[in-house]
């Protein structure tokens, strides 16, 4: 009778240990899942923010391009206005507008005006390209966050499985 009682007590103790181990594993699992869920929400927010910033950078690039076109157009108009003012000065001084130095000056003004306008437009295009590079970096960042989030989720679930198995009594049933 003593042997049966000792065996029953030993089995009851092992069963109690198994219940406590299972409860501990369940609590650890719940906490880990909660942490994983929080990390997933943070990652989703970061991805969304990166995408919004990327879209904003794209809009900024389009705006810079348009500014460049408009500034170049204004520069050309101002150059034409200045050229006509110069022609009026020459005409006021009875200098022929159809030959010699006046024509050379007019050609030089046209060339310089076009170069200035192209330089202005090129500078705006460089700004636009910087915004597009920023956009690309932000989209890459969003993809990297997404990839890391998926990788970390897989690691979390794998670790939870290992922890659960490790928390169970090894000698149960022996």
Tens of pLDDT along the chain (174 residues)?
455 566 666 666 666 666 666 666 666 666 666 777 778 888 889 889 999 999 999 999 999 999 999 999 999 999 989 888 888 888 888 877 777 777 788 888 889 999 999 999 999 999 999 999 999 999 999 999 888 888 777 666 666 666 666 666 555 554
Of 153, 126, 173, 171, the C-alpha closest to 37 is 153
- The pLDDT value given to residue 17: 66
Tell me, what's the pLDDT at 174? 47
Concatenating the DSSP letter of every residue in 61-123 gives HHHHHHHHHHHHHHHHHHHHHHHHHHHHHHHHTT--SSSTHHHHHHHHHHHHHHHHHHHHHHH
d(C-alpha 45, C-alpha 49), whole Å: 6
pLDDT at residue number 1 = 47
Looking from the CA of 99 toward its CB, the CA atoms found within 13 Å total: 3
Domain ranges of the chain: 2-167
What is the pTM for the complete model shown? 0.63
């Amino acid at each position: 009778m003593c042997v049966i009682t000792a065996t029953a007590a030993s089995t009851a103790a092992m069963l109690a240990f198994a219940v406590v181990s299972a409860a501990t594993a369940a609590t650890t699992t719940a906490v880990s899942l909660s942490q994983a869920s929080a990390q997933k929400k943070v990652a989703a927010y970061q991805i969304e923010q990166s995408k919004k910033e990327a879209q904003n950078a794209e809009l900024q690039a389009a705006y810079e391009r348009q500014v460049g076109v408009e500034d170049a157009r204004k520069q050309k108009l101002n150059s034409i206005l200045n050229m006509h003012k110069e022609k009026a000065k020459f005409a006021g001084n009875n200098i022929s507008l159809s030959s010699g130095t006046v024509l050379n000056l007019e050609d030089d003004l046209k060339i310089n005006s076009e170069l200035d306008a192209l330089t202005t437009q090129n500078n705006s295009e460089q700004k636009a390209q910087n915004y597009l590079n920023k956009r690309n970096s932000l989209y890459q960042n969003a993809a990297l966050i997404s990839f890391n989030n998926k990788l970390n989720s897989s690691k979390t679930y794998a670790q939870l499985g290992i922890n659960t198995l490790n928390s169970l009594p090894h000698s149960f049933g022996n």
